[in-house]
Amino acid sequence: MLHIWGRLSSLNVRKVVWAAQEVGVPFQRTDAGLSYGVVRTPEYRSMNPNSEVPTIQDGDLVLWESNVIVRYLCAKHANGTLYPQDLTARFDAERWMDWQQTTFNRAAGTAFVQWFRTPAEKRDMAAIAQSVAATQPLLALLDAHLAQHAYMGGDHFTMADIPLGCDVQRWLGLPEQHPALPNLRRWIAALLARPGAKGVLDLPLS
C-alpha cells in the first residue's frame, strides 16, 4: 500500500493526499513534521535526507518533492486523463506546476507564514505587505488565464490544478482583502466540489 509521511497542515502534503484521493489509490498516512517530529529520525532521513515532508513509499520506490509525487501518482494511476499523454498538454500542465513552486509560492508563502506560523507579537507586517503586493499580480494573471479555460490545462481537470489549487485556496484563506477575481473563484469552487479534494482542500488553515 502507498504510504505518505506528512501532516495535513502542510501545503505540500495536501497536494499529495489530494492526488492520491483523486486517482483512487488506497494509502496510509503518518503525521510528520513540526510538532509531530519524525523527520529528523535516522529512519526518516534514510528516505528523505532533506528532513522535509512529504515523502512517499510505493513498493520499493521512495519519492520526495511534492509536485514530483503528484506527477508520479497521476502518471501511474491516471495516465491519459490527469496525466496528459499529448506532449503539448502534458508540458503545459508541467509548466503551471513548476510556476506554482518557483513563482506563486515564493510570493504568497511569506504572508501565510507570518499570519499562521508566527506569533502575533513577532509578526512582520511589512513582510506581509510585500507578499501581498507580489501575489496580487499573479492572481490577476491566473484569473485572466481562467477566463479562457475551465481548468489550468484547458477544458479538463489535470495534475496542473492540484498544486495551484492548494496554494490559491490557502491564499484565499488569509485575513486579507481579496479582489473579486470571478474566474479564479469559479475554478476554486469547481475544485472544492471534487470528491478527491474532500478533507484536504477544504481544511482550515493552520
Residue 96 counted as domain residue: yes
Q: How far apart are CA 82 and CA 43, in angstroms?
A: 33
Residue 206 counted as domain residue: no
Q: Cis link prior to 54 (omega < 30° from 0)?
A: yes
CA angle (29, 33, 34) in 5-degree steps: 140
Q: Of 77, 95, 125, which residue constitutes the final position of a domain?
A: 77
Q: Of 77, 96, 122, which residue constitutes the final position of a domain?
A: 77
Tell the burial category of 60 from Cβ atoms under 10 Å away from its Cβ (0-12, 13-18, 19+).
exposed
Residue 52 counted as domain residue: yes
Tens of each residue's pLDDT in the chain, 206 residues: 999 999 999 999 999 999 999 999 999 999 999 999 999 999 999 999 999 999 999 999 999 999 999 999 999 999 999 999 999 999 999 999 999 999 999 999 999 999 999 999 999 999 999 999 999 999 999 999 999 999 999 999 999 999 999 999 999 999 999 999 999 999 999 999 999 999 999 999 99
- Cα separations in angstroms, 52 against 128, 165, 184, 197: 24, 21, 30, 23
pTM exceeding 0.95: yes
Q: How far apart are CA 75 and CA 186, in angstroms?
A: 27
Residues forming a β-bridge with 64? 55
Instruction: Spell out the residues 6+ positions from residue 39 whose beta carbon is closer than 8 angstroms to its own.
Output: 5, 32, 33, 45, 48, 51, 52, 53
Same domain, 59 and 113: no
Q: Which domain holds residue 164?
A: 87-196
Task: Please report the pLDDT score of residue 58 as a whole number.
Answer: 98
Task: Please report the pLDDT score of residue 40 as a whole number.
Answer: 97
Sign of torsion over alpha carbons 44, 49, 53, 58: negative
Q: What CATH number should be reported for the domain holding residue 189?
A: 1.20.1050.10
Look at the chain and report how many structural domains it folds into.
2
